[in-house]
A and B are shown apart, each in its own frame.
Chain A
Amino acid sequence: MTFGTILFQLSKGLLVSVEIFVLTLVFSLPLGFIVAFGRMSKNPIIRTITKVYISIMRGTPLMLQLLVVYFGPNLLFGVRIGENYRFVAVIIAFSINYAAYFAEIYRSGIESMPVGQYEAAKMLGYNKAQTFFLIILPQVIKRILPSVTNEIITLVKDTSLSFAIAQAEMFTTAKQISAAQTSIMPLMAAGVFYYIFNAIVAWGMERVEKAFSYYR
């Protein structure tokens, strides 16, 4: 296998990694809000359920969650799973796991807002939805961006965990080629790819943070 072929194979894997990354964010970022509101709910049942959910998601390894989501339907309920389910399982496991982390970040951001902002909005006649979406949320986003960036960068690297269920993304590909060629080079190349991937993500997030820096 030439160096060029290896890079080509890795790039194909990288594409899958990017897909996992993007789809996980698409689902987990909004889902995190629902979880955060559940966590802050006045209803004790909803609050407890979301609390337990978050603690399981944060308290057990993501790799284990991935295996449970992938094998669970078959081993627990005898459902026959097709080849397509592999990728779906990755997205489900990553999304529900990251939603828990995002939920806690959102919650800390929302709870850090001074009560005076709510009171001022109330005095000016804003309703609850307007208060949240116009006054609170934009400020919360600014506050939580650094923590969200951290999570997103971790996610780039966590996509490699899909290797546990043999999802053919970049890390799985690199490991296969490395074993077949008895060479460390494919793994090193994958490392460089991850690094570049994250550099781009970090640059993008920095731009977003800048967009919010017009006020303090």
Chain B
Amino acid sequence: MKLLEMNHVQKTFDDLEVIKDISLSVEKGEVVSVIGPSGSGKSTLLRCAVMLEKMESGDLIYEGRYAARDVNGKSVYADKNELKEIREIFGLVFQNFNLFPHYSVLKNITDSLVKVDKLSKKEANERGMELLKQLGLEDKADAYPYQLSGGQQQRVSIARALAKNPDILFFDEPTSALDPELTVEVLKVIKELAAKHMTMIIVTHEMQFAREVSDRIIFMEDGVIKGQGTPDEMFNSEDSRIREFIGKLS
């Protein structure tokens, strides 16, 4: 079953075409890594998928529901209520975590469950504590984000996204703000999610990680998908540009 489908997506910023006619689909349980040099448009593609950016043209479809439909070369987005429901299908983990600094770790996870999803405080806290336990952070429940290391903050933000029970989880360079040691602890969490067949789309620069965790790697450059395949296919690609790019970073 296709969880996400993007057809002929195009996006420009001030006349600069950042995404040029990209189509991709993601199956349930699939882990897809998106790699490519800076400025290749991979983060913009992800931001279009999670609707933090609006596409100029193309379709955006989650579980068969149209978030945006291409009408005569222009993306027309669904109404507010439909988009609100579609947003519940996915979650996003940001590069800079974007935790709420004035909320404790537990409240960062539970607040939207109570205020948005109308769970009882007790249910929300139980779910929050369970996730913190899974991620080895239960002793940090009452701490504030500034008291945590970057790796811990990123794990909290993963817990915050997971608490909403998304069908798809997006990661926007989840380890780019972390030093190598802290990177490991975050990648470990993502690998555990992959082992549980969580559907994930990961924009990353970590080649070895992408190789280990992904079912499919997409290589993007200049706003287009230059190649995609299984990790083995990509690491042994016949395309010299892809080999060169992967070789430089691994």
Q: Is B141 an interface residue (CB 8 A)?
A: no
Contact with A along B74-99 (1 / 0, CB 8 A): 00000000001001100110101011
Shortest CB-to-CB span from A205 to chain B, Å, is 19
Select one of A116, A126, A135 contacting B94, CB under 8 A. A116
Which of chain A's residues 94-139 have a Cβ closer than 8 Å to chain B?
Answer: 114, 116-117, 119-120, 122-126, 130, 134-135, 138-139
Shortest CB-to-CB span from A131 to chain B, Å, is 10
C-alpha spacing A56/B88, complex, angstroms: 47
C-alpha spacing A130/B99, complex, angstroms: 16
Contact yes or no, A139 B101, CB < 8 A: yes
Q: Is B122 an interface residue (CB 8 A)?
A: no
Shortest CB-to-CB span from A186 to chain B, Å, is 47
Count of chain B residues with Cβ under 8 Å from any Cβ of A? Answer: 25
Q: Is A214 an interface residue (CB 8 A)?
A: yes
Contact yes or no, B112 A125, CB < 8 A: yes
C-alpha spacing A119/B46, complex, angstroms: 13
Instruction: Give the secondary structure class of A's interface.
Output: helix
Select one of A116, A122, A142 contacting B102, CB under 8 A. A142
Contact yes or no, B115 A130, CB < 8 A: yes
Q: Is A210 an interface residue (CB 8 A)?
A: no
Contact with A along B115-144 (1 / 0, CB 8 A): 111000000000000000000000000001
Contact yes or no, B91 A123, CB < 8 A: yes
Kindly report which residue of chain A lies nearest to residue B117, judged by CB atoms: A125
C-alpha spacing A117/B52, complex, angstroms: 12
Contact yes or no, B117 A120, CB < 8 A: no
C-alpha spacing A117/B145, complex, angstroms: 13
B101 — which chain A residues lie within 8 A by C-beta?
139, 215-216
Contact yes or no, A126 B115, CB < 8 A: yes
Contact yes or no, B84 A123, CB < 8 A: no
Known: A124-B164, A125-B112. A116 touches B100 (CB 8 A): no
B160 — which chain A residues lie within 8 A by C-beta?
124
A122 — which chain B residues lie within 8 A by C-beta?
52, 87
Contact yes or no, B98 A125, CB < 8 A: no
Known: A123-B92, A125-B117. A215 touches B146 (CB 8 A): yes
Which of chain B's residues 167-217 have a Cβ closer than 8 Å to chain A?
Answer: none
Shortest CB-to-CB span from B42 to chain A, Å, is 17
Select one of B112, B144, B145 contacting A124, CB under 8 A. B112
Interface-centre pick from A122, A123, A134, A215 (highest chain B CB count, 10 A): A123
Q: Is B22 an interface residue (CB 8 A)?
A: no
C-alpha spacing A135/B94, complex, angstroms: 17
Contact with A along B142-160 (1 / 0, CB 8 A): 0011100000000000001
Select one of A125, A130, A138, A139 contacting B88, CB under 8 A. A125
C-alpha spacing A124/B163, complex, angstroms: 10
A123 — which chain B residues lie within 8 A by C-beta?
50, 52, 87, 91-92, 161
Contact yes or no, A139 B102, CB < 8 A: yes
Interface residues in chain A, defined as those with a beta carbon under 8 Å from any beta carbon in chain B = 114, 116-117, 119-120, 122-126, 130, 134-135, 138-139, 142, 214-216
Which 7 pairs show the lowest CB-CB distances between chains A and B?
A120-B98, A124-B112, A116-B98, A125-B116, A216-B146, A215-B144, A123-B92
